[in-house]
Amino acid sequence: MEKTVLDQLYSVVLDRKKNPKKGSYTCQLFSKGRQEILKKVGEEAVEVVLAAANNDTRQTIYELADLFYHIIVMLVEYGIKPEDIYNELQNRFGISGLELKNTEGG
């Protein structure tokens, strides 16, 4: 299976966690801990919503890229692999979104 850019980014972030490099923003996030990582995910999510609400497609794309990056940092911090997310999404095919909302985790 060909690696997506998100898989490649995950590999880089995972390497930064295992092999910290001075001057790396990613390493700085890891050193600040989970609360800081979660805070950044929240901030980036808000920035995505604001850009979209302003109908600014270019800024929305930019902020989505930031959000994806910070989510990947969060995944690495929590030991979640992209495959875990892919599998969860695959399992949802053919199930109504309304049905999912009424089940555990929805």
Please report, for the chain, the start and end positions of each structural domain, with discontinuous segments joined by +: 5-81
- The residue type at 94: G
Question: Can you spell out the DSSP letters for 32-85?
Answer: H-HHHHHHHHHHHHHHHHHHHHTT-HHHHHHHHHHHHHHHHHHHHHHT--HHHH
Is the distance from CB of 62 to CB of 51 less than 8 angstroms? yes
CATH fold of 5-81: Helix Hairpins (1.10.287)
Non-local (6+) Cβ contacts of 50 within 8 A are: 63
16-61 confidence digits (pLDDT tens): 999 999 999 999 999 999 999 999 999 999 999 999 999 999 999 9
Res. 62 pLDDT band, cuts 50 70 90: very high
Question: What's the pTM?
Answer: 0.87
